[in-house]
Amino acid sequence: MDRIAIEGGTPLFGDIPISGAKNSAIKLMAASLLTSEPLRLTNMPRLADTRLLGRLLTRLGTQITESDGPDGQETILHTPEITSAFAPYDLVRQMRASFNVLGPLLARTGHAKVSLPGGCTIGARPVDLHLKALEALGAHIDMHEGYVFAQAPRGLKGAEIEFPFVSVGATEHALMAATLAQGTTVFKNAACEPEIEDLALCLNAMGAKVSGAGTPTIVVEGVASLHGADWSVICDRIEAGTYAVAGAMAGGEVRLTKVRPELIQILLDKMVEAGCEISTTADTVTIKRGAGRLKPVDVTTGVYPGFATDLQAQFMALMTMADGESVIRETIFENRFMHVPELGRLGTDITVHGPEARVRGVEELRGAQVMATDLRASACLVIAGLAARGETVVNRVYHLDRGFENLEGKLSACGAKIKRLKSDDPMPEELE
């Protein structure tokens, strides 16, 4: 397995372009199944997760073409016909979002057989809300031998669906299916993430009639068919937040480009509270760390527009350098403090009690061997390594490749001493 080695202590100076959002791109790819015409996606990130979903879509009948066009990296997905409505375990288990092909397959063909997704290291994320929403739309659902068998031979029907709690995945999944349902569908207590609005706007560009996306109530007027479209994937707010924290940890001055600052405003406000200097334009964010040590800041994760759980680990790493104690409360996933023992190997002082972590800042982090446990924890360990004295080696970085495009290249372009080591590479004595 690949590793990433970092020699800490070097300030960062330069621009970091932000890629298209992973969490939007993979749902837009699934939405391509809803039409027989090509969907052209620009600002597409090249990630392990998009490649995995591409393999599944190809099996279902999608023709995929990737290129570097005038609008940057682009992917054209064309499914003239669904050649198979079967999504096998070996493909779905590798990425939970693959399960979201169920709704588009059902809406377009009237039937589908899709494996239940695998487990998740950061907590239970059941798909019961997805299935209940599809049943409300008229689907008949059976489950056995680890597969969901869904049928709607006469098509889906509009319905009023109120989610018992906010679920991003269920909102996106049911939204895609409802675009081809007969009649009107109203979603209440829907998730409000920017990626959901991005999906809805793309669906509208394909001929859907969706209103209210980005609010708790979404209304979908079903249409008979969708057509092809061109769509630019929204910027990745989690990647942007990660590099913002990286700039603050390492010191120096970093400018994020191709970003929408308002999507990470709550993080930027917390960083200012901690003593960072932040300036923004319509599509850039510049980060400098102020003189002296950072101030401790408490955060509590929440659904959008609250503090993103996907930035909790990164912000915790930043608070390990603060002059005082911070409290980090996790309200979304029950197992999302698995990075804490690994941060401890760098000399941090963190105590976890249930959903709450108390972070007592230290004067210095020290490099060490650490192990990535999930995607966002991987990023947390890399950016902590940027600030640590000596060398930090992050193992199992395949997690990083799921959600960060060319992370080591973007950081090294700003002066970071960071290298990717292949599984058979010797451990370096020092980074050149």
φ and ψ at residue 263, rounded to 5 degrees: -75, -20
**22 labelled binding-site residue:** yes
Q: Is 96 annotated as a binding residue?
A: yes
Q: Of the residues 120, 192, 202, 235, which is catalytic?
A: 120
Q: Which residues contact 142 (CB under 8 A, 6 or more apart)?
A: 148, 149, 150
CB 308 within 8 A of CB 267: yes
**Residue 129 assigned ligand-binding role:** yes
Tokens of 113: 């057989």
**The two three-digit tokens of residue 14, written as one number:** 């330069």
Q: Are strands 86-87 and 111-115 parallel, antiparallel or unpaired?
A: parallel
For residue 375, say whether it is annotated as part of any ligand binding site: no
Please tell me whether 269 is known to bind a ligand: no
Q: Tell me: is residue 266 an annotated ligand-binding position.
A: no
User: 46 a known binding residue?
Assistant: no
Enumerate residues 6+ apart whose C-beta is below 8 A from 50: 22, 25, 26, 29, 44, 75
Task: Please tell me the distance from the alpha carbon of residue 25 to that of residue 47, in angstroms, as a whole number.
Answer: 10
Catalytic annotation present for 120: yes
> Coil, strand, or helix at residue 63?
strand
Cα 262 to Cα 282: distance, rounded to the nearest angstrom: 9
How many separate helices (H) and strands (E) can be counted in the chain?
14, 24
- Residue 59: exposure state from Cβ atoms within 10 A (0-12, 13-18, ≥19): middle
195 three-class SS: helix
Q: Is 410 annotated as a binding residue?
A: no
How far is Cα of residue 432 from the mean position of the Cα atoms in its chain? 32
How far apart, in whole angstroms, are the C-alpha atoms of residue 89 and residue 57?
14
CA distances from 155 to 85, 104, 115, 213 (A): 15, 12, 22, 24
Does 323 show up as a binding residue in the annotation?
no
> Rounded to a whole number, what is the largest CA-CA distance in the chain?
67
Q: Is 332 annotated as a binding residue?
A: yes
Backbone angles phi, psi at 197, to 5 degrees: -65, -40
CB count in 10 Å sphere of residue 120: 13
Query: What is the Rg, in whole angstroms, of the alpha carbon atoms belonging to the chain?
Result: 22
Residue length of the chain: 432
Residue 5 near residue 428, CB atoms below 8 Å: yes
| Residues that constitute the known binding site for UDP-N-acetyl-alpha-D-glucosamine | 96, 125-129, 310, 332
Report the binding-site residues: 22-23, 96, 125-129, 310, 332
Binding residues for phosphoenolpyruvate, as ranges, are: 22-23
User: Which are the catalytic amino acids?
Assistant: 120
